[in-house]
Structure 1
Amino acid sequence: MKQAAATVAIVLAGVAILALLHWTTPGYAVLTGPIEIAGRQEAPAETAEFSLKVDKLILSELLVFQRYGKKVERGTGGIWAVITADASATHRTLLLAGVALRGASGRIYMQSPRVDGLSQLLSGKELQPGLQQRGLFVFELPADELPGAELVVSREAFPRLTSQLAMSLNEGSAIRRTVLEIGRDPL
């Protein structure tokens, strides 16, 4: 009888330990996720593959720009966040495929497809080692997502076990405009 009780106790302790290990072990996505490097606006940050310096955050309700020779106006129910930045590759030519804005709630906002064709966009441009490339990142998001927002940039669209920059943005120093005319207004 004592031996059966001891066996049951050992089995229950083993089950409890396995359950504890199961609940506390991070998932596969966390284990193989990006290696995040923190940075802040107006200070250069660098990964093993590229460097980035966020210059300005410009907030606007209406964007005006030239696309394929035609004037385009884009309004929004939220706010446009236009980020000016300088980027360069470190060792080899590359593209920045993973560009997003992480809002205050933790939600991820990808670059707006409503500004595709804008020649000043930094994403999609080849970065060369040692040569600074200046450009824009453009996001459309609710205004309440701006406090504490971060620009998240990586070489791959869905990075796994590679570097990813998380640049904190300073909403207090943001330039606010009702209408932002890209290509005409100084950025």
Structure 2
Amino acid sequence: MTLTQADSRTARRAASRRPPRRGLARRFAAGVAGIALAAAAVYTQQNFAMSFEQRVSYLTYKGRIGETVETKRFTVKVLSVAAARAVDTTDYSNKVTKVATSNLFLLVDVSATSAREPFKLSRLSPPVLLTADGRRYQPTDKVNDALTLFNKYIQPGFWSSGLLVFEVPQDAVPGADLVFIPPVSPLVSDNYAPEAQIDLGLSGAAADRLISQAKDYHSLVSASR
């Protein structure tokens, strides 16, 4: 059979009236779904992503000086608090040097044990001195860590004791707490990491007494031997 020119035009018109193929509809639907998923991801990131501070927020256990504060990861006790206007330290060659301050060195004697795994305190997330008005002071870097609790392994079944040394102004002493924080990784999310907040018993009168009785010099080197 021979196809005439008129028949050819009729066939082309009929083809143009056919509904679009299903493949095109599927691609369009997939594109719409992809846009919706991307928008949802952006919304979730903006509204539900936790900040670093939230990811390392702590579950706080509270106590007072002389009390044993037990958490799921460690147990800690503050044994005593003293103050000095000068301390000593050592360098890499064990040379002893006297270090003075125009403020105060607060010497917090701490004992701790681990519940499950041994650990050492970290300078990345160290224990801090928390003042009544919310200031936080990290342990001073003027003292070699080898002379402090930073040098001790805190292990299950054993109590490790040592000093934490803070350099603070006098107005930081009244109402100060020690916040004992175990090492924490910024790469690991743990919304229930424990910390112990310990009232050092430095009420107005006690703080005044501690400041007025601050030693002119306290040897850390002789105490660690």
- TM-score norm. by structure 1 comes to 0.75
Matched, 1:35 2:59: yes
Report the more deviating stretch, 39-48 or 171-180.
Answer: 171-180
Q: Which has the higher strand share?
A: 1
Task: Give CA-to-partner distance per residue, 1:61-118, whole Å, 9 cap, x none.
Answer: 1112444421211111210001111111111112233311111221100011111x24
- SS of the residue 2:62 aligns to: strand
Alignment equivalent of 2:142, drawn from 111, 114, 139: 114
Q: How far off its partner does 1:57 sit?
A: 0.5
- SS of the residue 1:119 aligns to: helix
Which position in structure 1 is the counterpart of 2:222? 184
Task: Within 5 Å, give how 1:26-175 maps onto structure 2.
Answer: 29=53, 33-67=57-91, 68-97=93-122, 98-115=126-143, 117-157=144-184, 160-171=191-202, 172=206, 174=210
Which structure would you say has the larger RCO, counting Cα contacts within 8 Å and 6 or more residues apart?
Answer: 1
Mark the CA change 1:42 to 1:128 in structure 2 (over 3 Å): closer, same or farther: same
Report the more deviating stretch, 176-185 or 49-58.
Answer: 176-185
Structure of higher CA gyration radius: 2
- SS of the residue 1:114 aligns to: coil
Q: How far off its partner does 1:123 sit?
A: 2.2
CA distance in 1, matches of 2:77, 2:167: 21
- SS of the residue 1:183 aligns to: helix
- Taking only aligned residues, the RMSD between alpha carbons, in angstroms, comes to 2.5
Which residue type is aligned with residue 69 of structure 2? A
Identical counterparts, % of pairs: 22
Which residue type is aligned with residue 159 of structure 2? Q
* Structure 2: runs of 5+ lacking an equivalent: 1-49
Q: How far off its partner does 1:124 sit?
A: 4.6
Q: Is this contact kept in 1: 2:131–2:177, CA < 8 A?
A: yes
Q: Is this contact kept in 2: 1:112–1:140, CA < 8 A?
A: yes
Q: Is this contact kept in 2: 1:103–1:146, CA < 8 A?
A: yes
- TM-score norm. by structure 2 comes to 0.63
Q: Which has the higher helix share?
A: 2
CA distance in 2, matches of 1:84, 1:165: 15
Q: Is this contact kept in 1: 2:85–2:214, CA < 8 A?
A: no
How many pairs align? 159
